Homo-oligomer: A and B are copies of this chain.
Amino acid sequence: MSTSSALPDLSALISRRAQTMTASAIREILKITQQPDVISFAGGLPAPELFPLDAVRQAAETALNKYGPAALQYSTTEGHPPLREWIAERHGIPAQNVQIVTGSQQGLDLLGKILINEGDTVLVEAPTYLGALQSFQPYLPQYAQVPTDEGGIDVDALERLLQTTKAKLLYAIPNFQNPTGRTLSLERRRRLVELTAQHGVLLIEDDPYGELRFTGEALPSLYALGLELAGDVDRNHVVYCSSFSKTLVPGLRDAWIEAASPIVAKLIQAKQGADLHTPTLNQMMMTELLPLLPAQIETVGAAYRERGAHMLRQMDEQFPAGVAYTRPEGGMFLWVTLPQGVDTVALLPRAVENKVAYVPGQPFFALGGGQNTMRLSYSSATPEQITQGMRALGQTFREALA
């Protein structure tokens, strides 16, 4: 054979879009936090001790008995019909408007693929879910940041932005947002749905945490408000994404999209090329687990309520003046804002020395900002870890502010 000097330069073959991909900033940051003894609030994992392990074991057994080899065969791209039907009934829509996806992350990737042309403007909250930016990035959008305040998206600022910016889509997490824990009020939801409709902007609602509310009244989804506005499921400009990852278990990767037929038709075609279908057995298992869902939502919600409340009490006690934080009504995260001038990336090694870790807020901003912010997750921490961790974090803050 010829000599290896003739070999292609593999790095030179990488596509332009893939050259813009970078290792997740969080992924890199998490490495420094993974030292023994460090109490980490950096991850965003659901509490594993609350997973319904026995019920999952039973669901596998039941699905294999009920469906036999069909549980292990190739299956339809759209998804397991009983699962689609159950999802559709919640919003009172036809099952054909539901597409099963392999985790919400795949939903975001497929939506990016079927919607975003290079250079299209995608509106995102500032800050927003980092994973959504990673899903959209390969399709080479431009981002515009929608200003937010304590109530989430600032709809007046959005209105001004839409007057000067031609956008293709807006991506929003209205319930217990990742990373801030903020929830959008009913009035703002209505304005958001109306404004995007008027400006021809598709509205993607990502709602993984909505069922995990600990306080206050459940609010209508953007999807439901869009349906009310359109009067027709196939003209609704809101696309709804949700998942069983935060209520039941994440590792089976069962999630879904609800959308108008012109969107679903393209999602099916895109998903055929992306992974043919979501694993058959996993969808059947999830269907068997559905009767357990209300009790599981209750259990997980109660645990997170208690953990979040305990964290907030400790923060109230331990954090120095000048440090602000959100008080989430549900979900897994809260958001801390330090005085201007404190850089939470630079502060992290000192926190780790003090045996505590967080995620700096900056990677959650599509266009930068948030140097003085951080995200904390309380979902999988014990009371002792929270008490000790908030004491260490308060100490770190006092050192930084001294």
Q: Report which A residues bind B (CB closer than 8 A).
A: 1-2, 4, 6-11, 13-18, 21-24, 27, 45-46, 48-49, 51, 53, 56-57, 60-61, 64, 68-75, 102-103, 105-106, 108-109, 113-117, 120, 131, 134-135, 137-139, 168-169, 190, 193-194, 197-198, 200-202, 228-232, 235, 237, 245, 249-253, 260, 262-263, 266, 268-270, 272-282
Contacts and interface: CB of A to CB of B under 8 A. Distances in A.
B49 A2 contact: no
Contacts of A49: 69
Contacts of A138: 113, 270, 273
B6 A198 contact: yes
A281 B283 CA distance: 13
B4 A230 contact: yes
B251 A279 contact: yes
Contacts of A251: 71-75, 279-281
Most B Cβ at <10 Å: residue of A102, A106, A200? A102
Contacts of A116: 15
A22 B139 CA distance: 19
Given A109-B275, A251-B72, A279-B279, A202 B13 contact: yes
By secondary structure, the A interface counts as helix
B10 A263 contact: yes
Contact of A106 (B57, B105, B190, B275): B275
A13 B18 CA distance: 24
Contacts of A10: 202, 235, 237, 260, 262-263
Contacts of A27: 272
B103 A272 contact: no
Contacts of A8: 197, 200-202, 237
A332 to B, nearest CB: 12
A45 B74 contact: yes
18 contacts: A2-B229, A17-B114, A18-B114, A21-B269, A45-B74, A48-B73, A51-B69, A53-B64, A57-B61, A60-B64, A105-B275, A105-B276, A134-B272, A138-B273, A251-B279, A251-B281, A252-B281, A282-B282
Contacts of A114: 14-15, 17-18, 21
B13 A249 contact: no
